[in-house]
Structures are given as C-alpha cells and as structure tokens.
Chain A
Amino acid sequence: MQLQTMAAEKLSHAAPPADAAIAIDDVTLRFVTPDGHMMTAIRDFTMTVARGEFACVVGPTGCGKSTTLNLVTGLLRPTTGNVRVMGNPVTDISRDIGFVFQADALFPWRSVIDNVAAGPLFRGTPKAQAYDKARDWIARVGLARFEKHYPHQLSGGMRKRVALAQTFINQPKILLMDEPFSALDMQTRTAMQDELLGLWSDQKASVVFVTHDLEEAVALADKVYVLTAGPGTVKSVYRIDLPRPRVMADIRYDPKFIEIAKVIWNDLREEVQLGQSQGLQASH
C-alpha cells in the first residue's frame, strides 16, 4: 500500500534523531492573555523534519500552526520542552531560516529589487553583489521587467513571488511557509506551487509548509501532520509516497492522490468540527 499511517503516540515518545533539520520535542506553549490568564496554544507537541524533507501541517483554524512555525524561528520560546534546529537548541534567530509569512510582509517603501536584496544587505553582503544576486532571483521568479516597481504596483500573485525571491535569496536550509498561497486564485496558486517545488528541489532545503488546504498539503508534501483543535497537538502523521517530480495541475486527478486525501480528510474532519464548535462556544 502507498499509504502508511503512523500513530502519533508512537512518535511523540521517541526522542527525535539528533541530526534532524527541525526537532520539536514535547513542547507546550502558553500565552499570557491581556487579562492575566494563561492560554495554552499548543501542548505536548512533537514533530521531526529530516534534512531535505517537505513537511506540511494542516489543522483547524486557531490550533497553533503559526505558533509552531514561530517556535522554530525563535520569535517564540516554548514554555516547556525544547526545539532544536540543525541539531542545536534555538537561542537566537538562525541565519539558516527563511520564512514566508501568512500576511503580506514586503516593505512597501522599497522597490522589488530593494525588497529582494534586503536579506543579503542586512547580512552584510557588499552592495553590488547583493543587487546582482537580487536581479538573478527576480529573473528566476519571472519578474525581470518589474525590478523598479513598488509592491503596490504589483498584483497579489506577483507580490507573493517577490516574497519567495526575498526568502530564497538567503538560501535558507530551513524554509518555513505560513499559508503562503491562501490568498491566491487557483491558477496562480498552481503555478506558484510548481515554482516552489522547483526551487525546493534545487536548494535541498527542509520545508515546513502550513496550510488549511488539505489537497495542497497532500500534493506538496513528503509528510503531512494533522493537528487537533486548539490547544493543538499532533493527531497523526501521514507519509505521502506519490512519485516526484509532481505536476500540480495533474496530480489532483491522480487516483492515488484522491485516495490519500480522502483518508486524511476523514481524520481532519473531526478536528475541524471540534474547532468550529469551540469557536462557537468561545463567542457565546
């Protein structure tokens, strides 16, 4: 069979291997709410991403997906448990990490080329070299004619491509993506997914890709993590054995793909319903 289901319990107690790109080991994170209460965002969370692996994370809204990514960057610290990146505990923001944000995070006062060159410039690359590199990356995402444009002069899909170039130019060994394509239309999204897989296979990065679109997750990933409704923890992990290279426009009609998506959806559905009823309760 193409599909193996691993029980989440089995994983959460096995300590992650030391050489994993990302190892989140039994982490709980609580926020202090403005009225002084503690609010658990994720609990007993264990996740391992091997080097070069493409992992997708799906789960109901508010279950802690963005929080998980922020733990890997070091922007958030776990309340208990520990997070290791490339074998080292996360202490500071690592230079190995690239992050494509859920919201538009380009600098609106910088032109496309200045946005893309930002990373190397921040990191002290000489100006001429940084701009050469930026020009190269802008061409690779197909925006060579738009170097001098400002973000507000671009379409949503073009802005996302600038964001990809801005992140990829640093050649991150670890790539974190928070629902990067959820605001795009179907055609643009398919094109961007192909582009992403191309860039990923060139760069050999380890990827954590958060999405609420299960089909997107199955189409892209080596491994799909399904999270429970908040406070989130890993419900199950699925290995996706669809052959690569994958073509996004065709893969959704592949019977194997449909079968896998169906199995995972049955698992995810309960959590989504639970998440919705929690949301309703919270609003009463």
Chain B
Amino acid sequence: MTAISPTEQAAARATSIVVAEAQARARLRKRHTLVIGLRLAILVALLGLWELGADYNIIDPFFFASPSGIWEQIWSWVTEGTSQGPLWLQIYVTLEETFLGFVIGALGGIAAGIVLGRNKLLADVFSIYIKIANSVPRVVLGSVFIIALGLGMASKVALAVVMVFFVVFANAFQGVREADRAMIANAQILGASPFQITTSVIIPSAMSWILASLHVSFGFALVGAVVGEFLGAKQGMGLLISTAQGAFNANGVFAAMIILAVMALVVEFLITRFENYVVKWRPAPFNEQGA
C-alpha cells in the first residue's frame, strides 16, 4: 500500500481549485461577451430594418422618421444649434429644471413621510388631503402653474416637484411604518432619544424604500419638466419637441426623445451608484454572492 502524504494531497487539491477557478472565470467572460454581442446584434438588426423600410417606403419616413434622418437631425443640432439656440443650452435648461424639481420634491416627500410616519395623529388627519391631492391628474396642474408662475423656470420646477413629491412621500411613509418595532425598542433601551431613534433607526430602515422611489421619481421629474416646457416655455427639450411637432418634423421629435432617454439613463446610473454606496450593508442576492 502506498501512502499519499497529506501535503502532496493538499497541494494537488490547491492546484485543482486554481484550475477550476480559472475555468469558471473564462466561462463567465465568454458569457458576458456573448450577451453584449447579442444585444448589439439586435440593435443593429432593428435599426437596419427600420432604415431599409424607410428607404423602400414601407415605413413612411415622413411620419415615422428614419435612423439616418434622426442621426442627421442630432448632428445638425450639435454642429449648427437648434432654432432656439445651442443644443447644450436646451439640455442644460431641462436638466436644471428636472434636478431642482427632483431635489425639492424628494426632500419634501422624505420629510413629510418621516413626520407623518412617526406621528399617528398627523397621519390620520392629513392622509385624506394627501389622497385628494394625489388623485388630481398631475399634468393638468402644469397649466395652472404656467398661468400662476409664468413661462420661466419656476412653473416647470413646480410641475416636476409635484410629480416627484407623492411617489417619494408614499414610499418614505411606508418605510417609516415598516421600521421594525423590536429594533426601535432595542434602540430605546440602549438609550436613544426620540430624535436619535429617527436618525439612527427610522431613516436607515426607510432608506431602501426611499431609494427605490428615487429611481422612478427621477423619470417623473423629467416628465414634469418636459411637459411643462411643452405647455409653454422659451427654452428646453420640451419646447424642441413641440417645435418639431409643429413643423411635422418626425426626425426632430425622435431625436429629442433619444437625447432625453440618454439623459435619463445617465442619471439612473448615477442614482444606482449612489444607492450602492449608501446601502452597502445590504446582503447581496444569493445568486450574486461570491461573484
């Protein structure tokens, strides 16, 4: 009988683990490339079909635009500017309105959600008014704001604020209500004051709810700003769309839409980064663990 020494065995095991790991990594890389490749292929196919359809007049480019037309439109906006001034200015104006509305609406929603969530009486009294206010179609308020606040930035910011406020409020309120009672009792007994309980138990535990609402509500803020501009403005992406629409310029409408989508995606990416930074204590879902 030949004995295998434990060190030999251990070394063999270690090398086999290294090999298996390398293989697993290679498999992951290959899969990643495949996914990206397929995504690109689908994009190219769709755009190609659209372009061909437009060339052969199966899809009427007058109504439905064409990829090359949209690209030319964006290019001319970038190089020559739009009818209402340089493109970057339009983007800047819309982003500024969106951000202001988003920040004010989100902070207001979080504050109101925490105050009402912590105070049963206030919640019972105000819940009816919040329900009523929430049932008013928001876009109609846009007209009210334009009459009251004029064609400038204020009316767009106001519309973005109301778009954001209710979503964030509802989530913050729910998050505060769901805060674990045992955890609150624990903090109380450890010596936390009511204010400390709010800052170190209530707000952190409502954080995942609040962050979830921030994702959706940035989109809402953008909608608020663009609709506001649509209804009446001197600058901005919404006005660009409405001008293009007035001129039956389908390429212009699509081009503005794509620019807005890119803006939304960039900000969404930033919010996700922020979220990962804030809630790094959260367990990773099981399928991502160890990856």
Q: List 11 A-B contacts (CB under 8 A).
A: A93-B189, A98-B189, A104-B182, A105-B186, A106-B186, A107-B187, A107-B201, A109-B281, A110-B281, A122-B190, A152-B283
Instruction: Note all chain B residues with C-beta closer than 8 A to A103.
Output: 180, 182
Instruction: Note all chain B residues with C-beta closer than 8 A to A97.
Output: 189
Question: Chain B CB within 10 Å — which of A102, A107, A119, A170 has the most?
Answer: A107
Instruction: Note all chain A residues with C-beta closer than 8 A to B282.
Output: 108, 152
A122: which of B180, B185, B193, B283 is its contact (CB, 8 Å)? Answer: B193
B183 within 8 A of A: yes
User: Are B191's CB and A101's CB within 8 A?
Assistant: no
The complex places the Cα of A122 from the Cα of B201 at a distance, in Å, of 12
Contact with B along A146-168 (1 / 0, CB 8 A): 00001011000000000000110
The complex places the Cα of A107 from the Cα of B200 at a distance, in Å, of 9
User: Are B190's CB and A118's CB within 8 A?
Assistant: yes
Instruction: Note all chain B residues with C-beta closer than 8 A to A111.
Output: 281
Instruction: Note all chain A residues with C-beta closer than 8 A to B281.
Output: 108-111, 150, 152
The complex places the Cα of A267 from the Cα of B166 at a distance, in Å, of 58
Q: Which residue of A lies closest to B183 (CB)?
A: A105
Instruction: Note all chain B residues with C-beta closer than 8 A to A68.
Output: none
User: Are A107's CB and B189's CB within 8 A?
Assistant: no
Instruction: Note all chain A residues with C-beta closer than 8 A to B187.
Output: 107, 118, 122
B108 within 8 A of A: no
Q: Which residue of A lies closest to B279 (CB)?
A: A109
- Further contacts, 9 of them, CB under 8 A, given A109-B281, A118-B190: A73-B189, A101-B182, A104-B182, A107-B187, A107-B200, A122-B191, A122-B196, A153-B283, A167-B190
B188 within 8 A of A: yes
The complex places the Cα of A150 from the Cα of B196 at a distance, in Å, of 21
User: Are A123's CB and B191's CB within 8 A?
Assistant: yes
B185: which of A95, A98, A105, A153 is its contact (CB, 8 Å)? Answer: A105
B89 within 8 A of A: no
Instruction: Note all chain B residues with C-beta closer than 8 A to A225.
Output: none
If over half of B's interface residues share one DSSP class (helix, strand or loop), that class is named, otherwise mixed; here it is: helix
Shortest distance from the beta carbon of A105 to any chain B beta carbon, whole Å:
4
Interface size for B (C-beta < 8 A) is: 22
A181 within 8 A of B: no
A99 within 8 A of B: yes
User: Are B283's CB and A75's CB within 8 A?
Assistant: no
The complex places the Cα of A107 from the Cα of B182 at a distance, in Å, of 10
User: Are A170's CB and B204's CB within 8 A?
Assistant: no
User: Are B183's CB and A107's CB within 8 A?
Assistant: yes
Q: Which 9 A-B pairs have the closest CB atoms?
A: A105-B186, A122-B191, A119-B190, A152-B283, A123-B191, A122-B192, A109-B281, A105-B182, A109-B204
A-B contacts at CB below 8 angstroms, number: 66
Instruction: Note all chain A residues with C-beta closer than 8 A to B183.
Output: 105-107
The complex places the Cα of A210 from the Cα of B30 at a distance, in Å, of 56
Q: Which residues of B (59-101) have their CB < 8 Å from a CB of A?
A: none
User: Are B190's CB and A170's CB within 8 A?
Assistant: yes
Shortest distance from the beta carbon of B23 to any chain A beta carbon, whole Å:
28
Contact with A along B221-256 (1 / 0, CB 8 A): 000000000000000000000000000000000000
Q: Which residue of B lies closest to A97 (CB)?
A: B189
User: Are A93's CB and B182's CB within 8 A?
Assistant: no
Instruction: Note all chain B residues with C-beta closer than 8 A to A104.
Output: 182
Shortest distance from the beta carbon of B274 to any chain A beta carbon, whole Å:
15
User: Are A166's CB and B190's CB within 8 A?
Assistant: yes
User: Are B204's CB and A101's CB within 8 A?
Assistant: no
Shortest distance from the beta carbon of B206 to any chain A beta carbon, whole Å:
11
Instruction: Note all chain A residues with C-beta closer than 8 A to B207.
Output: 109
Instruction: Note all chain A residues with C-beta closer than 8 A to B283.
Output: 150, 152-153
Known: A122-B193, A150-B281. A107 touches B204 (CB 8 A): yes
The complex places the Cα of A110 from the Cα of B183 at a distance, in Å, of 12
Instruction: Note all chain A residues with C-beta closer than 8 A to B192.
Output: 118, 122
Contact with A along B167-203 (1 / 0, CB 8 A): 0000000000000101101111111110010001100
The complex places the Cα of A93 from the Cα of B196 at a distance, in Å, of 15
Question: Chain A CB within 10 Å — which of B180, B189, B191, B193 has the most?
Answer: B189
Q: Which residues of B (272-291) have their CB < 8 Å from a CB of A?
A: 279, 281-283
Known: A108-B281, A119-B191, A152-B283. A99 touches B186 (CB 8 A): yes
